[in-house]
Structure 1
C-alpha cells in the first residue's frame, strides 16, 4: 500500500470514528410501543444517500456540530415519496417494502403520493401519470402494496390547490380539472377503506387560497370520504397560522355538509374574534365529527421568508428561501382535537427546484449560485435548516 493510500485509509477511518461519535451525540427517537392497528410512533425511512455523504464529509473535516445537526435531521421521522416510474409490480413492491419495514419497527409510515397527471402544472416538479387510466392503475398498485398494514397517505400535494384551470392547462370545457377531481376521488375510494389507512387531501396553505375557495375543491375531490386534508406541504407557514386555517377549513366543511354555503364561511383574513363568533353560532359539531388535518412542519421553524421589497419580479418565496430552519418534531399527539399530526413530509435538505426569482438565471440571485434540481440534495440548504432549527435539533 502506498503512503498516499495509507493516508486516505486513515482519513476515512478517522471520519468514520468521528461519525460514530456524532451518532452517539444525537438523541434517539423512540420506536414506540408494541405493534397495534395504528402505531403511536412515526416511521423514519433511510436517509437520502447524498445526505449521508454530506454528514461523512463534514465529520471528516472536523465539523462535528454541523455533521450532528444534519444527522439529527435525517434521523427524524419523515415521509416516503412515491412519484411514479416503473411498472405496477415495481410500485407495489416499493410501497410494500416501506410499509413492511415500518411494521417491523412498530411505526406508522407516511406515504406521499405524487403522480397525478399534469403534476405541478408542468413546472419544477413536472411529470406524473400519462392519463387517468395510467393513474388509476398506479393507485391500484399502491393499494396492493399497502395491503393490511397501517399508513397515513398524503395524497398528491398541489393537486387541488393547483388545478389545471389555475395554470392554463385546462380545455374550454374544464375537462382537465374535472378529470383531476375524478382522479383524486378514485384514489380516496381505493385507499381510505384499507385497514389502518388514513387519506388526506391537498388544502394548500394559509398564504395561498382562502377558506372559501379551497373548501369547494376539497369537496369535489372527495374529502367527505377521506380522513381529512393536509396543509403546508413543502412550505413555511407558522404552526399557529396553520392551526387556525385548518380549524376554519374543518368548520366550513362541517357547515357545508349541513347545507350551508362555503362562500358564507369566515376565512383566514377575518378578524379572529369575528370568525370565532361565527363558528360558535354556526358550527355546533364536535371535533370528533369534523374532518381532521395534518400539517407539514419540516421547514417552518423560522416561518415564511419575506423577500426584499421591489427587488424581484417573482420572488418565489416558496422556492429554497434562505435562512429557514426545521420546525416542530413529527408527532401524532398535537394537543389539537382537529389536528391528527405534525409531520415532516417534505424531506429537509432536498431542493425545491432551480429558483431564479424572475431573473434570467440560471443562478438563484439570493444565493449567488444555481440551486439543485427539484428533489436533489442541497447541502447548503441542509446546513441552514439544521443550524436554524426551531426547536433545536441538538441539546
Structure 2
C-alpha cells in the first residue's frame, strides 16, 4: 500500500524555523557533568545536541592541562552520530533510539549520518555496507528508532561514487527508498553529494535529480572533507540553482585550514566553523560537524583504522583552530 506521509514539506520547514528561534541553551545533565559554563561551541549552537558518549568526550574527560582545554573544543561541540552497523539492524535501531531520544529529551536537534549503502566506499577504508537484498529492511528498522525530528545526512559518498565500482545494486533506488522511509519517520533528510573538489556543480545536480526531492529536504556537502566553507558555499549555490533552490548543509568539522589535496588524515588541518543553524538569504540551512574530528579516516598517514580515535590528530586539529 502507498506510504503515508507523516509531515508535509511545509510543516517540516516550519518546524526547522521554529528550531532556529527557540534559543534553548541547555544540554543534557549527563553531557554537562563537571562543566561550569557553556563552551563557545555550545553557545554558538544552542539548538544542536552535544552527545556525551563520543570518543572525543571520553578523551576530554580523561585529559588534563592543555590537552583537556584543546579536546574540549571537540568534545563539547555538537556532532553527528553515525549509523552503519549493517550486521545487526536491531542494534542500529537501538543506537538510533538512544541517541535521538536523548536529544529529544534535551529539547534539541540531533544529527544522524546513515552510512550502510551496499558497496559502501567501493571497498576502501570504510568499505562494507548492507547486502543489496537487506538494505530496505535495514533502513526500515533504523527508521523505527527515530525519536523527534533529527537531521539526517544520507549515505556519504554514495551519490558521488555512483557507478564507480561493482556491488552497488540499484543505488538510486536505495537512496530514494531511504529518503522516503527516514522522512516518514520524522527526519529532515539531506542527500550527500560529495564536495566542491569532486563533481562539477552540473553533475552533482544531475545526480541529485536522479534521486529527487519528493522526500529529502536538500543535499549535504563536504562530509569528512576539507574544502573551505567559502568555496563549498559558492559551489553549493550553483548546485542549488539547478535543483530548484533546494537547501543544503555543509560539514565544517575539519576545514579550518582548507584542503591540501589529500582526503585521508592530512596533516596541518584545523577545526572549522562551529556548527549553527542558518536563516539568511542563501540556501544554506546549517553548518554542521558531520565527521567527528579526531576519529581516523583510515590506516593512512600514520593513522589507525577508520573510525578509531587518534588523539594526536585531534589535538592538532584543535590547536590549529582559529577559535
Identify the TM-score tier after normalising by the shorter chain.
0.7 to 0.9
Deviation at 1:326, TM superposition (A): 0.5
Q: Residue in 1 aligned with 2:74?
A: 73
Cα contact 1:51–1:377 (8 A) shared by 2: no
Q: Residue in 1 aligned with 2:200?
A: 210
Cα contact 1:160–1:221 (8 A) shared by 2: no
Cα contact 2:56–2:75 (8 A) shared by 1: no
**For residues 214 and 88 of structure 2, what CA distance do their matches in structure 1 show?**
31
Deviation at 1:23, TM superposition (A): 4.9
Structure 2 counterparts to residues 49-198 of structure 1, below 5 A:
49=55, 52-53=58-59, 56-57=62-63, 59=64, 64-131=65-132, 133-147=133-147, 149-163=148-162, 165-167=163-165, 169=166, 176=168, 179-195=170-186, 197-198=187-188
**For residues 68 and 197 of structure 2, what CA distance do their matches in structure 1 show?**
33
Residues 1:227 and 2:210 are matched in the alignment: no
Cα contact 1:350–1:375 (8 A) shared by 2: yes
* TM-score, normalised via structure 1 length: 0.69
The one-character-per-residue Cα deviations of 1:27-72 (angstroms, maximum 9, x if unpaired) are 262598xxxxxxx701111243465246524x1xxxx223211122
Q: Which runs of 5+ in 2 are unaligned?
A: 1-31
Q: Which runs of 5+ in 1 are unaligned?
A: 1-19, 33-39, 171-175, 255-289, 307-316, 356-363, 365-369
- When structure 1 is superposed on structure 2, of 328-337 and 374-383 the one drifting more is 328-337
> Which of residues 351, 374, 380 in structure 1 aligns to 2:312?
380
The one-character-per-residue Cα deviations of 1:76-112 (angstroms, maximum 9, x if unpaired) are 0000000124533322221111111001111100000
Cα contact 1:184–1:222 (8 A) shared by 2: no
Q: 1:65 to 1:336 in 2, by over 3 A?
A: farther
- When structure 1 is superposed on structure 2, of 83-92 and 184-193 the one drifting more is 83-92
* TM-score, normalised via structure 2 length: 0.83
Name the SS of the counterpart of 1:253 in structure 2.
coil
**For residues 107 and 307 of structure 2, what CA distance do their matches in structure 1 show?**
28
Cα contact 1:334–1:342 (8 A) shared by 2: no
**For residues 336 and 121 of structure 1, what CA distance do their matches in structure 2 show?**
37
Q: 1:47 to 1:145 in 2, by over 3 A?
A: closer
Q: Residue in 2 aligned with 1:303?
A: 258
Name the SS of the counterpart of 1:166 in structure 2.
coil
Cα contact 1:31–1:107 (8 A) shared by 2: no
Name the SS of the counterpart of 1:324 in structure 2.
coil
